[in-house]
Structure 1
Amino acid sequence: MDFEKLSIAERKIIVGIDFGTTYSGVAWAETQRPDRRVAITSWPISKTAREGESSDKVPTRLRYNGDNTEWGFSIPITAPPDQTIEWFKLDLDPSLESMGAAVTNAAARGGRGVDQLVTDYMSALGDHLMYTLREKLGEGVVKSTPLEFIVTVPAIWSDLAKDKTKQACQLANGLSATKVPIHLISEPEAAAIYALHGLDPHGLNIGDSFVICDAGGGTVDLISYTITNLKPILEVQEATPGTGALCGSTFLNMRFGKFLKAKLGREEGFDDEVLAEAMERFEKIVKRQFTMSAPPDESFIIPVGGLANNRELGISRGRYALKAADLQTIFEPVVQEVIKLVKDQITSSKVPIRAVLLVGGFGASNYLKERLRNAVDRNIQIMQPPNAWLAVVHGAVMKGLAQSAPEKLTMVKVQNRKARKHYGTEWRTRYDEKIHGHLRDKRHWCGLDGCWKVYTMEWFIKKGDSVSENEPFFTSFVWTGPVSQGRIRKIKMDIYADRTARLAPMTKDENVSLLCHVEADVSHIPENQLQRRKGTDGQQYYELNCKIEAVYLSASTQYTLLFNNSRYNSVTAEYV
């Protein structure tokens, strides 16, 4: 394939941002060299040292130090823990019972809300990205080539949390200055595009199904795909609505911190600094080395500088010997939760699963892989693709390339997704005693049609339905209003969602929640183009025939109002 044939108009720099709970990653590619995806692996350790630390990802951490905003590796390890803000990503979705708020100390935030924290972090990330691009490609190329961003979000998040992420990115310096398009993709889908692309093509058959388990720092997201086509490109469709929970490796760190405090917290010299260094060692080395084959009395060395020797506790020369048996107690409850998620996903797929692909930082854990291997059916392979930690960010770049030139740059195509919930809206229907008898006291008289009416739900999509981003869903409706109340200026509509496992209900109840307000301004349409009809009560009524078009993308939804053969993309969807 000759990528150089891309027209000048199609040339872009595609940037993937994996904004994570504990670590974040950035990768990019030029559309004319799509097979050369580059992940940023060099990070600043201070305002002046732009490339002091080498790592595949950078910690998602902030510290406000006077007028300085420190981030990632530029926060000194000696900085008091109560000044460092971490795990704040989880506060974007308060609907998940997150431990985010409990951990990110209010004092360090100085009254800043989560939106501000995300914007500040993204600004620092965007700034470093622009510096890196100028270093690697030269000022001229960066100035003359448009950028496009693909930002990843957990699939289990609410639409509001996803929308908040996008808005925070749009406000971030470095991303906003260039008014670049920002698209969202769900983390497990990005991981799947990368992981499935990397599978040995000779071993694949149409009809094979895989579970992708994207286990990160805060969230674990799962999704299953079935191969529907192998050539010219790999095409897949979702086999079941995705699932997930908060049970990532952050919880291991929390459990380790608790364990260490309980064990050594009363020793003289044990303080926040000792704990911070121990946590660092656990995060970077011990957590990744631990395997099931470790004998129970094997020890892993944790630095505890300044603590007196104590043979009984296992402290010698400023080092604490952490036993494998203790590590297992730290790991087990978190691993159990992931195993349960994987088994439930396999069961709900209703198709035989060939393999589970483990990706993400926690997905790279040897212990998790071995425990899963023992827990699921022997015929199901457990695989860890190379570079599992970067799978999400590479997949995001691949998705961005595909969006910019679908014919030439698509490597793995997700044909259909399964709706994760019921989506619909509420309309007035003619009251029918046989169907709506139980709603008798909720009916009201309609002067236009001269009959009783009642509000019921109209669902565009039901949970588990196949949705494709190439095929929009349409819903027709009639917008009415008495002419005596003045001309219609806005057509409004509320979109609802119901994420329970039940059948879509006929009427709105406590499980049906408002998802967003959709609004289109029609005040510029000449009065004589607004249809009218005389009601049975003798009054004049406006009666506008409209349609709503809904397109369900990987991690967002677009609503467009169609009226009078015009498209109102200006429909503002405000998520609740």
Structure 2
Amino acid sequence: MDFNSLNINDRKIIVGIDFGTTYSGVAWAETQRPDRRVAITVWPISKSTREGESSDKVPTKLRYNGNQPEWGFSIPVNAPTDEVIEWFKLDLDPSLQSMGTAVSSAAARGGRNVDKLVTDYLSALGEHLTYTLREKLGEGVVKNTALEFVVTVPAIWSDLAKDKTKQACQKAVEGLSTTKAHIHLISEPEAAAIYALHGLDPHGLQANDSFVICDAGGGTVDLISYTITSLKPILEVQEATPGTGALCGSTFLNMRFAKFLKAKLGKVDGFDDEVLADAMERFEKSVKRQFTLSARDDETYTIPVGGLANNKELGISRGRYALKASDLRVIFEPVVQEVVKLVKDQITTSKVPIKAVLLVGGFGASNYLKERIRGALDDASIQIMQPPNAWLAVVHGAVMKGLALSAPEQLTAVRVQNRRARKHYGTEWRVRYDEKLHSHLREKKHWCGLDGCWKVYTMEWFIRRGDAVSENEPFFTSFVWTGPVSQGRIKKIKMDIYADRTARDAPLARNGNVAMLCHVEADVGHIPESSLQRRKGNDGQLYYELNCKIEAVYLSASTQYTLVYNGQRYNSVTAEYV
């Protein structure tokens, strides 16, 4: 297919959205010019000024001023801090709170529902995207070209949090395009890997070499190890071990800096929210990025503290505070130590020799973090690399993934062949009770009228933790759906999917470690009554007995379910995550 000859119906605009804890990024490309990826780098500073601030990304912040929320750079710098809602992305996955430093719930602080906050923020992002596309491509092209979105999510997130992100995106982009926009999810470290490997040419990595990608962002730090399986004609990799991660991104450095400054200067006359906001901005934009491991303890970094009187003892002079490198070390160390531990653990669990660690994400660009990881690894032959444009790696990788999905043969730059399952996945079904196998479940056995025997519920695991899963090879689980004909015809087939994330063998029956993942429901109301199989039970009653299969395709950050019955595929399957 020649991309320049694509007719308008085949053309698509692929949009990557990196919805981050502290900053978010947007990039796009047209399918007929796939080599030209464009990141949005100009952002509104008010409703009327659409192009007021130049930055690779925009702050993930909201402030409600009447009905219309202000967002990103359009929130006034001097806005009271208690009115600005930030870090709300982390509220999408409450289960993460146990994994790292507790973050006060931003949604609760703003008295608003997190799903609404995410939808409002993504809607504002989508509106600015549409404005930008019209400016660059013209009204006609934008109006008549389908939009397809690839949205990035932390790999360590729960399936519920990923699904919530997808639903919020769906709501946010309604109306941006004349056709219903498709939304794909991709894990942040996988998107980063696609971009970093493509941009690291020649990267010195060979076939069969393995590397760790560490995506250190604002809130989450995600790690995955990959092994290169082929370099030509395209670069193919597969996951070497299930990914890991935690809440220890650079947001936690900001929190530690704010706490430090309040403790140091909080009682000084004139210290208020505005002074803190200016200091935070300097810390975020320059100090955090400049700080290196080799900095001498007495080296200082200038922090603006306008309006505070000179105080030699505290280090305040002419509206500036001299922050010592020794204090910065104290601020950095607990967060950096957590990332170092994650990297070392990932190298150990991959059980293959690691040639390189690729650092991406905003925090991944930190020189201090890079040097600390280098010093902490016992093996000096492991390269520590920071690909160029590390802050935009995730959003560019998302666009590349979207282009590959829309025309796999032509546009795949890097292909992830296999991923490693992070959990055991399975369903619960009734089996004939067997005293040898099920004696520990004796209390739970019950009589089955259809087969005239004792039965017991056990787990049927169709994927086990660490198994290789591929987008091209679905998993099938076969089951028999039964129900008395006297209770009326079967309209819906329901199934519960369970997961167990512990690093041990999957249990025979459901226990405390096995959690409900989602309810899967297939609508069979339209299947003719005559096609539904029946059988007379041992108890003389007539039963429906449907031999079905559920097909599950595990993608980068989501799962698609399809019901197969009588050789027919039914895509009317909905999954409700819990």
Greater Cα shift, 166-175 or 497-506: 166-175
Greater Cα shift, 445-454 or 166-175: 166-175
Q: 1:510 aligns with which of 503, 509, 512?
A: 512
Residue identity opposite 2:189 in structure 1:
P
Cα distance 1:173–1:535, how it changes in 2: closer, same or farther (>3 A)?
closer
Q: Which residue does the alignment assign to 2:44?
A: 44
C-alpha distance in structure 2 between counterparts of 1:200 and 1:106, whole Å: 46
Q: Which residue does the alignment assign to 1:92?
A: 92
Q: Which residue does the alignment assign to 2:429?
A: 427
Q: Which residue does the alignment assign to 1:160?
A: 160
Q: Deviations over 1:374-398 (max 9, x none)?
A: 1112010000000000000000000
User: How far off its partner does 1:106 sit?
Assistant: 4.2
Percent identical across equivalent pairs?
82
User: How far off its partner does 1:360 sit?
Assistant: 0.1
Q: Deviations over 1:40-77 (max 9, x none)?
A: 00000000110000000000000001233110000011
RMSD: 1.4
Whether the aligned pair in 2 keeps the contact of 1:82 and 1:105 (CA below 8 Å) is no
C-alpha distance in structure 1 between counterparts of 2:107 and 2:435, whole Å: 57
Whether the aligned pair in 1 keeps the contact of 2:427 and 2:459 (CA below 8 Å) is yes
Q: Which residue does the alignment assign to 2:566?
A: 564
Greater Cα shift, 309-318 or 92-101: 92-101
Whether the aligned pair in 1 keeps the contact of 2:213 and 2:224 (CA below 8 Å) is yes
Q: Deviations over 1:470-510 (max 9, x none)?
A: 00011111111111222211111000111111110100011
SS in 2 for 1:97: helix
Q: Does 1:67 align with 2:67?
A: yes
Whether the aligned pair in 2 keeps the contact of 1:24 and 1:57 (CA below 8 Å) is yes
C-alpha distance in structure 1 between counterparts of 2:203 and 2:218, whole Å: 33
Whether the aligned pair in 2 keeps the contact of 1:170 and 1:176 (CA below 8 Å) is no
Q: Which residue does the alignment assign to 1:461?
A: 463
Q: Which residue does the alignment assign to 2:21?
A: 21
C-alpha distance in structure 1 between counterparts of 2:428 and 2:174, whole Å: 41
C-alpha distance in structure 2 between counterparts of 1:525 and 1:224, whole Å: 45
User: How far off its partner does 1:113 sit?
Assistant: 0.2
Runs (5+) with no aligned partner, structure 1:
none
SS in 1 for 2:94: coil
Q: Deviations over 1:6-37 (max 9, x none)?
A: 45543211000000000000000111111111
Q: Which residue does the alignment assign to 1:260?
A: 261
Whether the aligned pair in 1 keeps the contact of 2:41 and 2:57 (CA below 8 Å) is yes
Residue identity opposite 1:22 in structure 2:
T
Residue identity opposite 2:370 in structure 1:
K
C-alpha distance in structure 1 between counterparts of 2:108 and 2:474, whole Å: 44
Q: Which residue does the alignment assign to 1:471?
A: 473
Residue identity opposite 1:373 in structure 2:
R
Residue identity opposite 2:362 in structure 1:
G
Q: Which residue does the alignment assign to 1:495?
A: 497
Q: Which residue does the alignment assign to 2:132?
A: 132
SS in 2 for 1:26: strand
Residue identity opposite 1:414 in structure 2:
V
SS in 1 for 2:456: strand
User: How far off its partner does 1:339 sit?
Assistant: 0.2
C-alpha distance in structure 2 between counterparts of 1:214 and 1:106, whole Å: 28
User: How far off its partner does 1:102 sit?
Assistant: 1.1
User: How far off its partner does 1:201 sit?
Assistant: 3.8
Runs (5+) with no aligned partner, structure 2:
none
C-alpha distance in structure 1 between counterparts of 2:534 and 2:12, whole Å: 49
Q: Which residue does the alignment assign to 1:216?
A: 217
- 1:134-213 equivalence runs, <5 A: 134-173=134-173, 178=178, 179-201=180-202, 203-213=204-214
SS in 2 for 1:156: coil
C-alpha distance in structure 2 between counterparts of 1:156 and 1:174, whole Å: 28
- 1:293-304 equivalence runs, <5 A: 293-304=294-305
C-alpha distance in structure 2 between counterparts of 1:489 and 1:202, whole Å: 56
C-alpha distance in structure 2 between counterparts of 1:255 and 1:497, whole Å: 35
SS in 1 for 2:186: strand
Whether the aligned pair in 2 keeps the contact of 1:127 and 1:174 (CA below 8 Å) is no
Q: Which residue does the alignment assign to 1:351?
A: 352
Q: 1:403 aligns with which of 400, 405, 423?
A: 405
Whether the aligned pair in 2 keeps the contact of 1:477 and 1:545 (CA below 8 Å) is yes
Q: Which residue does the alignment assign to 1:544?
A: 546
Q: Which residue does the alignment assign to 1:292?
A: 293
C-alpha distance in structure 2 between counterparts of 1:443 and 1:227, whole Å: 49
Q: Deviations over 1:239-279 (max 9, x none)?
A: 00000000000000000000001111111111111111111
Cα distance 1:38–1:300, how it changes in 2: closer, same or farther (>3 A)?
same
C-alpha distance in structure 1 between counterparts of 2:6 and 2:214, whole Å: 35
Whether the aligned pair in 1 keeps the contact of 2:420 and 2:465 (CA below 8 Å) is yes
User: How far off its partner does 1:355 sit?
Assistant: 0.3
Q: Which residue does the alignment assign to 2:114?
A: 114
**Length-normalised TM-score, structure 2:** 0.97
Residue identity opposite 1:198 in structure 2:
G
C-alpha distance in structure 2 between counterparts of 1:126 and 1:104, whole Å: 22
C-alpha distance in structure 2 between counterparts of 1:305 and 1:321, whole Å: 13
Residue identity opposite 1:209 in structure 2:
S
C-alpha distance in structure 2 between counterparts of 1:102 and 1:318, whole Å: 31
C-alpha distance in structure 2 between counterparts of 1:167 and 1:77, whole Å: 31
User: How far off its partner does 1:199 sit?
Assistant: 2.0
User: How far off its partner does 1:176 sit?
Assistant: 5.6
Q: Which residue does the alignment assign to 2:375?
A: 374
Q: Which residue does the alignment assign to 1:365?
A: 366
SS in 2 for 1:203: coil
Q: Which residue does the alignment assign to 1:32?
A: 32
Residue identity opposite 1:90 in structure 2:
L
Q: 1:525 aligns with which of 516, 524, 527?
A: 527
Residue identity opposite 1:3 in structure 2:
F
Greater Cα shift, 485-494 or 86-95: 485-494
Whether the aligned pair in 1 keeps the contact of 2:8 and 2:144 (CA below 8 Å) is no
Q: Does 1:416 align with 2:415?
A: no
SS in 1 for 2:439: helix
SS in 2 for 1:46: coil
Number of aligned pairs? 574
User: How far off its partner does 1:126 sit?
Assistant: 0.3
C-alpha distance in structure 2 between counterparts of 1:216 and 1:430, whole Å: 50
Q: Deviations over 1:152-200 (max 9, x none)?
A: 0000000000000010111115666542101100000000000011223
SS in 2 for 1:354: strand
**Length-normalised TM-score, structure 1:** 0.98
Q: Does 1:450 align with 2:459?
A: no
Residue identity opposite 2:397 in structure 1:
G
Q: Does 1:79 align with 2:76?
A: no
Q: Which residue does the alignment assign to 2:327?
A: 326
User: How far off its partner does 1:104 sit?
Assistant: 2.1
User: How far off its partner does 1:103 sit?
Assistant: 5.2
